[in-house]
Structure 1
Amino acid sequence: MTILSKISIAAIMGAAVLVGGCATGPTQEQTGAVIGGALGGVIGSQVGAGRGRTAAIIAGTLAGAAVGGSVGRTMDEVDRMNVSRALETSPDNRPVAWRNPNTGHSFQATPTRTYQASGQDCREYTVIGNIDGSRETITGVACRDAQGRWINQ
């Protein structure tokens, strides 16, 4: 079994535990942590060989879970739709701002670089959020999938 298969199975099992253990389902933070951890592990599996690769997978999984948890904690579906709108309609370096009516949090998404990778349109972006009086900055890269949706990389 490849390391990628093991990571995928671990991510699916983690998600099943989160969903199965809660009558109300996983929180956004839990979902973000599982997805972020899985993606971080996959990215880490592409680095190095032998023990170096194992360390990269562990580091990538932990970092991905932390970042995914942070994003899941602060942004809901309204916010993700607004980030997608900014990626879709805003030129590079032109911010799109909004205030989430459900949470009261305000955000500003700015696409910073547009490019092609493996035949896909991709955009680097920065999101600045004001959450309960505290400023948080999130950076990322999103690429279009086959259905035209922006998917975080």
Structure 2
Amino acid sequence: MKRFIASAIIATFLLGTVAGCANKAQTGAGVGSMAGATIGALTFKNKLTGAALGAGIGALIGYAIGNEMDKHDQAQIGKALEENPSGKPLAWKNPDTGASYEATPSTPYMQQDKVYRDIHIKATVDGQEKDVKAKAYRNPDGTWVLVQ
């Protein structure tokens, strides 16, 4: 089981490194499935079933968010992470896609010499609501990078 979790974590990081080779939806689905598989394996008694269910759910959510979010939306998430106090949401509507979002950052913390914040993103896309919990770290240039 430890080997599976370590493999899932490594694969997630590799997916992040090759993200330039795929479109946003594919990258979102890949990262979402890996994160979902890891969470599912850790929370279900039957590790294989949990990983499979988590991977499927994570892929769907990751695909939907990756497919719908554009640079405007990513900039708004960065703004929420950089400027909003913990627990205070930033809401916006994408003028091009009509999707609406609400991003609520948590308290910043240090990990591996980087500032991290967890963030809860609620999205309404084509009338369907989606909830995503992610983690982001702050680059030295002030930009934020979502890692899961």
Question: Normalised by the size of structure 2, how large is the TM-score?
Answer: 0.66
Find the counterpart in structure 2 of residue 51 from structure 1: none
Distance in 2 separating the partners of 1:123 and 1:117:
10
The sequence identity of aligned pairs, in percent, is: 30
Task: For 2:103, give the aligned amino acid.
Answer: A
Q: Residue 77 of structure 2 is aligned with which of 56, 76, 83?
A: 83
Distance in 2 separating the partners of 1:34 and 1:106:
23
TM alignment of 1:1-153, pairs within 5 A: 7=11, 11=15, 26-36=22-32, 40=35, 65-153=59-147
Compute the displacement of 1:112 (Å).
Answer: 2.2
Question: Normalised by the size of structure 1, how large is the TM-score?
Answer: 0.64
**1:84–1:32 distance in 2 versus 1, CA, 3 Å:** same
Aligned length: 134
The runs of at least 4 consecutive aligned structure 1 residues that moved more than 3 Å come to: 34-37, 58-67
Compute the displacement of 1:35 (Å).
Answer: 4.7
Distance in 2 separating the partners of 1:109 and 1:36:
18
Compute the displacement of 1:74 (Å).
Answer: 2.9
Distance in 2 separating the partners of 1:65 and 1:130:
17
**1:36–1:118 distance in 2 versus 1, CA, 3 Å:** same
Contact 1:113–1:125 (Cα < 8 Å) also in 2: no
Compute the displacement of 1:144 (Å).
Answer: 1.1
Compute the displacement of 1:62 (Å).
Answer: 6.4
**1:120–1:31 distance in 2 versus 1, CA, 3 Å:** same
Structure 2 unmatched ranges of 5 or more: 1-6, 42-47
Structure 1 unmatched ranges of 5 or more: 20-25, 48-54
Compute the displacement of 1:148 (Å).
Answer: 2.8
Contact 1:121–1:143 (Cα < 8 Å) also in 2: yes
Q: What CA RMSD, in Å, does the superposition of the two structures yield over aligned residues?
A: 3.8
